[in-house]
Structure 1
Amino acid sequence: MPGLINRHTRAPLTLQAARVSACVNGLSVGIAASLTYYNQEDHVVEGVFCFKMNENTTVAAFEARMLQGRTITVHLKDRTQVEHFNEILTGRITMTANQPNVLPPGKFALSEFHNARVFCSNLGTIRPHGTVTILLSISSLMNTGTLGEAKLHIPSVFTPRYKKAQVKENEPQPQQPQSQPQASQTTSSSSNNTTTEHLHRSLLDIADEVGENPQEYEFEFQLEIRAPSLLSGVSSSSHAVRVDAEPFAANASNVFVTLAEPHQMDRDLAITIHYPKPHVPVVILEHGDISPTAYEQFVKTENEYKNPGEVGEDEDKTRAFLQKRLLKDVMHNPVLMLNYCPDFEKLTQQMLTYRFDVPGEYVLLIDRSGSMSGEYTANARETLMMVLKSLPMNCRFNIIGFGSAYKPLFESSRPYTQDNVSEASAYLRCMRADLGAMANLLVPLQWVYRHPVVRGCPRQIFILTDGGANNTAEILDMVRSNVPHTR
């Protein structure tokens, strides 16, 4: 479950207080939280904090304050510089004759694909009956509804569940038989198997669970909404909320949202923000933390700026140097953010009316042989995601991976619907170079050509590979023979 857990037993530590402060600006939200945990054990435990993230969420800051003045801070670095992460916290399950599933003690199973979906920090030892205060700051992009409303969902790591124990009075306790060696042995074996499965669960599965807390905890919540225009309303499907504006505010575009009733600790917190014109593009400007003049003086003090090999009197070199600095100094510079939530139903009607879409069948052949492992597969995945999202609305498509063998996504090309696109996106996210050592392009092409062309949908084939084919002559002959109906 998400939050602070015991590294060896996977049991959650007790949450005493959660204070969450969020700020919404357009369709983006920043959340800063303070979480205080307590170690109820009479011995030292080793704590690990885990938190599941989606593709629209990133951790901006993390700090753990422990007793005796010890503080742990997380610094964001390039992935190539933190390969020791796998050595410290994660490991692979190995198969042995006596123990089929063996995972090193204190480590978590985590695949390379799921590595970027979990934020995890090792806090080290926590003294008996000691407290830990975690300061977590995240940035995220909110989801939108069918009518353009923005939906804010507070992660469950901030709102774990608490269930009160229900004990019935004067209820006789069932007596256990004194001697049942066979049943006891079976129960013990089942318990050991359950414990083994519990300890060998993936770190992603642990972070994806609904958090539970053994006792009640304090919860405070405040949300500031900075809207580009007047709001149509703020509501919540989970809690009773109170919306206030500043006493001397000129309008209600900036409001504060708090809970009108105590948090019941049995559900997640969800807020819905209604904008008057949700489908109109909005540009939001966020100023840097220093003025342009101060930033210019700051850059001139840098050693790279003084280096004549980097920057000289040439304006082009100066401009190139500043462009390289933009990402590094992003907090010092103003940033523009475009928020656009299109009305897809209206756009679809317009496209059908004016016939902007050209129907067709698009078949994407992707090389998944051994030579495509690593960076090549990542680049191919990114390219195919872009192609998939750029296809016409009323087309048909299919994705086929090939190597020594081939594996189509669909048995035949399917219409471009939301369900089919979601299934294709999930397929691409899990794509690996696992179809053999050699790239045999002839067989998948034969499979494609065996399927008849749908009338009114000309077929086009796109091939993505990192090398040539051994049977080039046969492939070219087959392509030439199918030119009349397939490009």
Structure 2
Amino acid sequence: GGVLRMHPQHCGGLFGKDGTSLKDVPLKEISVQAEVHNLVADVTCKLTYKNDSKDLVETQFVFPIDADAAVYHFEAEINKKRIVAKCRERLEAKETYQEAVDAGHTAFYMEEDELMGDTFTMKVGNIPPAEMAVIKLQYFCQLQVRNETKESGECAVAVFALPSVLNPRYTPSSSESNRQFGHPNAITFTTVTVPYKFSFSANLTAQCPIVSVRSAKDVFELNYQGENRKTAKLTLQSEFKFDHDLEMDIILADPTKLTITYEQCDSNEKGGILGFDCLTVNFLPVFKEDTDTRNEVIFLIDRSGSMSGKNIMQAKESLLLFLKSLPTDCRFQIVGFGTTFSALFNEPQDYTEESMKMALEYQKNMNADMGGTEVLGALESIYAKEITGAGWHRKIIFLTDGDITNQTQVISLVRRNAKTTRMFAIGLGDGASTSLVTGVARAGGGKSAFVRNDERLQPVVLHILQLALQP
């Protein structure tokens, strides 16, 4: 494997096969409508493309999606024909698609990437010359949430993100896969250069007052629909370009309020999850601090080539905040990795003036200069070390952009060691892999968060550290 170096502005797109190469099928319009109920979002994306060539083009579509999202509806309209997707076993679906395309029919084939759960690849089939292709995708996702202290008291911050950027993924040389959908490095990226229309709106409903909505890079207009401020209409006002993930913080008045979201089943669905009523319950308990807990904190820092630029600067700032916020009764270690890995100390050290001086010097000189993204070896070296002793708890705080393809192996390793070590992960930058970051945190019994802009860095870092220091 090697480090992929591509233009930083990569997004999904519709591509036509032309021999062994792919060419863009121009994007004309995107509209996104979200229904946000408490901490759950129902998102509808409508994308319009046009085949400007003179040939019948077999196409495929690559697009980013949150790793925890559940796609429940997909349809496409080409040449006045509307096709609605049905879920099938992978091999059966692939055979059916190929038979239809070989017969000259329009067919669609979509599957989640086995090694990158935050990327979907869809074979769209034949598009006639000068014809439009309208793709509609609907999915559910749960919003990440954290507590935040304001002058008026505690509030909850629910983060809605619409992934818009795809980063190239590094494939370690030792990676093995039974992939049925081509090599991971074959994933296609495009840079959007042709003007297109983009619109975004959302209806917000909560069981407590909606205080405000904020965004570091985009401008939204918020209109309340009632005096109690529990419902609101949100509209994107600024021009949006696919050089960052669309993200907003929804500030809710009561962080501990129990919220319940009910979804009635589709009476037309016979069998499958859509045929069942669903109930989601969310609550944010407040835990008392356990003063007897002793923690061994390992900072695992991605220093691979893909972290260069803004991402490594965010990693350095995050590490500085972590170090300055550590309790003095903990032990800590810093492990940087790329093609190889190296640890600051031979073993975790007590928090002392000398150890902190060495850590701050490491942080000051840290760069994205270690090559590829071989995180397995670094993790194995951490797990191989004995924990300090009885009563000590080991926590890993992982900082990365997640640009790797052997995610299954990494997540499996974390899960096997979850009984002795908890994992917390922060995804850095636009396009950070939600499947890796959320996957390792879930497997390691910890939490994950994302820093897509500098304004969110400090609250995210302090929130993750607070969680990591709990029993």
The residue number in structure 2 matching 1:151 is 159
In structure 1, the partner of 2:54 is 42
In structure 2, what is the Cα distance between the partners aligned to 1:119 and 1:429? Answer: 16
CA distance change for structure 1 residues 44 and 420 in 2, over 3 Å: closer, same or farther? closer
How much has 1:118 moved relative to structure 2?
A: 3.5
1:227 aligns with one of 175, 197, 206: 206
Bigger helix fraction: 1
**Matches of residues 300-449 of structure 1 in structure 2 within 5 Å?**
328=271, 331=274, 334-342=277-285, 346-347=287-288, 349=289, 352-353=290-291, 355=292, 410-413=383-386, 416-419=394-397, 429-430=408-409
Partners of 2:193 and 2:186 in 1: CA distance: 20
2:216 is matched with which residue? 237
Task: Say whether 1:76 aligns with 2:100.
Answer: no
Q: Per-residue displacement from partner, 1:151-202 (whole Å, max 9, x unpaired)? A: 1111217x99xxxxxxxxxxxxxxxxxxxxxxxxxxxxxxxxxxxxxxx984
Distance 1:85 1:288, change over 3 A: closer
| Paired letter, 1:340 | F
Quote the residue 1:27 is aligned against: 39
- Is 1:127 matched up with 2:128? yes
The answer on whether the counterparts of 1:2 and 1:206 sit within 8 Å (CA) in structure 2 is no
Counterpart-to-counterpart distance in 1, 2:280 and 2:237: 32
CA shift, 1:129, in A, is 2.3
1:273 is matched with which residue? Answer: 250
- Go from structure 1 to structure 2 and tell me whether the alpha carbon gap of 1:241 and 1:274 turns closer, same or farther (over 3 Å shift): same
Whole-angstrom CA distance in 1 between matches of 2:257 and 2:200: 30
Q: Which of 252, 258, 269 is the matching residue for 2:229?
A: 252
| Contact 1:12 1:213 survives alignment (8 Å) | no
- Mark the CA change 1:60 to 1:332 in structure 2 (over 3 Å): closer, same or farther: closer
CA RMSD of aligned residues (A): 4.4
Alignment CA distance shift 1:25-1:80 (3 Å): farther
Q: Supply the AA of the counterpart residue of 2:394.
A: Y
> Does structure 2 retain, via aligned residues, the 8 Å contact 1:47–1:122?
yes
Structure of higher CA gyration radius: 1
> How many Å separate the matches in 1 of 2:412 and 2:40?
35
CA distance in structure 2 between the partners assigned to 1:112 and 1:261 by the alignment? 32
Number of aligned residues: 285
2:138 corresponds in structure 1 to 137
Q: Aligned equivalents of 2:88 and 2:266: distance in 1? A: 22
Deviation by residue 1:435-475 (Cα, 9 ceiling, x = unmatched)? xxxxxxxxxxxxxxxxxxxxxxxxxxxxxxxxxxxxxxxxx
Instruction: Give the whole-Å Cα distance in 1 for the aligned partners of 2:67 and 2:239.
Output: 32
Show the counterpart of 2:187: 206
Question: What amino acid maps onto 1:153 in structure 2?
Answer: A
Secondary structure of the corresponding residue to residue 430 of structure 1: helix
Other structure's SS at 1:416 match:
strand
Contact 1:14/1:214, CA 8 A, preserved across alignment: no
**Secondary structure in structure 2 of the residue aligned to 1:251:** coil
Q: 1:281 to 1:427 in 2, by over 3 A?
A: farther
- Cα distance in 2 for residues equivalent to 1:86 and 1:431: 32
CA separation of 1:214 and 1:42: change in aligned 2, threshold 3 A: farther
Deviation at 1:428, TM superposition (A): 8.0
What runs of 5+ residues in structure 1 fail to find an aligned partner? Answer: 89-109, 161-199, 291-297, 300-324, 361-393, 397-406, 435-487
SS at match of 2:136: strand
- Mapped contact 2:34–2:44 kept (Cα < 8 A): yes
Shift of 1:231: 1.1
In 2, the alpha carbon distance for the partners of 1:141 and 1:432 equals 21
Structure 2 residue identity aligned to 1:15:
L
Structure 1 distance, partners of 2:219, 2:398, is: 38
- Distance of aligned partners of 1:80 and 1:202 in 2 relative to their CA distance in 1, 3 Å threshold: closer
Give the 3-state SS of the residue equivalent to 2:397 in structure 1: helix
- Mapped pair 1:7 → 2:17: yes
CA displacement at 1:137 relative to structure 2? 0.9
How does the TM-score come out when normalised to structure 1? 0.49
TM-score when scaled to structure 2?
0.50
Helix, strand or coil for the counterpart of 2:233? strand
Structure 2: gaps (5+ residues): 1-10, 100-110, 149-155, 168-180, 297-329, 333-379, 388-392, 414-471
Do residues 216 (structure 1) and 195 (structure 2) align? Answer: yes
CA distance in 2: counterparts of 1:431 and 1:152, whole angstroms: 27
Tell me, in whole angstroms, the C-alpha distance in 1 between the residues paired with 2:118 and 2:55: 32
In structure 2, relative to structure 1, the CA distance for the partners of 1:74 and 1:419 (3 Å cut) is same
In structure 2, C-alpha distance between the alignment counterparts of 1:134 and 1:204, rounded to whole Å? 25
User: Which string of whole-angstrom CA distances, capped at 9 and with x for unpartnered residues, describes residues 74-98 of structure 1?
Assistant: 212355754649989xxxxxxxxxx
Asked if structure 2 preserves the Cα contact closer than 8 Å seen for 1:57 and 1:140, the reply is yes
Match of 1:482 in 2: none
Q: How far, CA to CA, are the matches of 1:223 and 1:233 in structure 2? A: 14
- In the aligned structure 1, how far is the partner of 2:54 from the partner of 2:248? 40
Shift of residue 266, structure 1, vs aligned partner: 4.5
The CA distance in 1 between the partners of 2:120 and 2:406, in whole Å, is 23
Deviation at 1:245, TM superposition (A): 2.4
After TM superposition, give the deviation of residue 212 of structure 1 in Å.
Answer: 2.5
Shift of the 54–81 alpha-carbon distance from structure 1 to 2, 3 Å rule, reads farther
Q: Which has the higher contact order (CA 8 A, sep 6+)?
A: 2
1:395, 1:416 within 8 Å by CA — same for their partners in 2? no
Q: In structure 2, what is the Cα distance between the partners aligned to 1:218 and 1:224?
A: 21
Q: Deviations over 1:193-244 (max 9, x none)?
A: xxxxxxx98457736x5x5323111112111111111112111222111111
Q: How far, CA to CA, are the matches of 1:55 and 1:337 in structure 2?
A: 18
The structural deviation recorded for 1:12 is: 2.5
Q: Which residue type is aligned with residue 270 of structure 1?
A: E
Report the alpha carbon displacement of residue 251 of structure 1 after superposing the two structures with TM.
2.1
Structure 1: how far apart are the matches of 2:13 and 2:36?
24
Describe the superposition over 1:110-160 as per-residue Cα deviations: whole angstroms up to 9, x where unpaired.
Answer: 998427554232221222222111111121122224534111111217x99
